[in-house]
A and B are shown apart, each in its own frame.
Chain A
């Protein structure tokens, strides 16, 4: 957001400014009311970020000169308030899993988790995002003579779905805290390796913290930087670009210019392709809706192992409901939700990974994407 300083010179300019303020609901800092705007008087208006260009264009069109009094209101706000959260969180013991964390803290958490659990956890580089940030996954693997099958889980493919990365972090914490004492988990780790990618769409996630809480896509620039973002979950090579997508960059379900056009998609796809003969299960975590979705989104044609897929998903839903009564619906996306193509879950199944599921976590729309942090614990516990 910016604050503009304007001194209207003519009555016409005053009228235009009053019109602008009331139609765009601009925040007048000085004077308090539009009716008090007068020629020769100081006008300070706060313009929300998405309207800045439009307002400036309008001022230019009407030959009204302005100065930018405050180029970044958020910066001012931040400076004036002491940050309650230290940037060097103590992790493992001190990490608060019942709060949402910005990406910087998640990066720190990952390296701390590896350090304090080095007998079990290793951090690996997967690739880089559009804005050149490194993507890391955590490998939880009990040393053993035999090669183990892999369960892959990624979170945060869609930026605004904050409960998803929160769940990935919780999941890792639960496993590491309990693997020695919990017989189920310990048996698990004897036979399986867990690969967890806590935030897939890192650029988008950061953008949802800093600029637009409801951002969904990644941050790839299109059309000379006039339009941003590809929906990463429409960008995989599974009937890419056929149904449930848009070819328009400004759409939330823009599938990109080709399958795997995005570096984030390629980083994940490349890795999974390489390891596919060992991957037993592909999980991708989203919100909201309370669903366990099976392939496919691009067709109602059932997958080859549809019965088994459904059975496992139904058992999961029952176990989930046992914790707090939360009801999840189970079934193929194309039948119980909507059509879509290019999803990572469809792609994983198509290349041969037998168990491939999308989880849509809490809730059903009351809070939607802005799930209160006091629901992080129950959501994660039941999903676990």
Chain B
């Protein structure tokens, strides 16, 4: 407890690569939950022991695939009711998962436990430059309040 500031947690954790379960990375982090005003996201500092796996190849494949589509990508319910994600939609799911991590961080307090439940809908946004843009509607599950 840090008086007038908040509560700080020191964590030592092991990260597991979602795409390669045998690959782990040690991580140490500090998370500070601010006192009172729960509209401020917790402060997070972390260091990784080692490097994250390079995903350039997969990124390029995904980028080229999206660029090759005639119409803007639109998809719903990822995963579907039975938990399935089609191979083409995997990168879309992973992207949504990462992005939801940011949303979760911004909305977390000491009393919340959020997970991404499902991507309800994703729509590609047309752009005039070379970047890709996606508009996601996600469902987040909060464990305590359900």
Spell out A's residues near B (CB within 8 Å): 25, 99-100, 209, 213-214, 216, 231, 244, 246, 251-253, 289, 337-338, 365-373, 375
Determine if B145 is an interface residue (Cβ-Cβ < 8 Å): yes
11 new A-B contacts at CB < 8 Å, known A252-B145, A365-B116, A366-B18: A99-B82, A214-B139, A216-B146, A244-B144, A338-B143, A365-B115, A368-B115, A368-B141, A369-B117, A370-B83, A373-B82
**B146→A375 contact, CB < 8 A:** no
**Chain B contacts for A213, CB-based, 8 A:** 77, 81, 118
20 contacts between A and B (CB under 8 A): A25-B135, A100-B81, A209-B81, A214-B139, A214-B141, A244-B144, A252-B145, A338-B144, A365-B115, A365-B116, A365-B141, A368-B115, A368-B141, A369-B117, A370-B79, A370-B81, A370-B117, A371-B83, A372-B83, A375-B83
State whether the Cβ of B23 lies closer than 8 Å to any Cβ in chain A: no
Whole-angstrom distance between the Cβ of A184 and the nearest chain B Cβ: 31
Which residues of B are interface residues toward A (Cβ below 8 A)? 18, 77, 79-84, 115-118, 121, 123, 135, 137, 139, 141, 143-146
CA distance A70 to B125 in the complex (A): 27
A99 to B81 Cα, complex, angstroms: 12
A213's nearest neighbour on chain B, judged by CB, is B81
Which residue on B lies nearest to A289, using beta carbons?
A: B143
Shortest Cβ distance from residue B79 to the other chain A in the assembled complex, whole angstroms? 5
List chain A residues, Cβ under 8 A from B135: 25
> What residues of A have a CB within 8 angstroms of the CB of B18 in the complex?
366
Are A372 and B139 touching (Cβ within 8 A)? no
The complex places the Cα of A231 from the Cα of B117 at a distance, in Å, of 19
Contact A100 B117 (CB under 8 A): no
| Complex contacts, A100 vs chain B, CB 8 Å | 81-82
A367 touches B83 (CB 8 A): yes
Which of chain B's residues have a CB closer than 8 A to the CB of A368? 115-117, 141
Assembled-state Cα–Cα distance A366/B79 (Å): 11
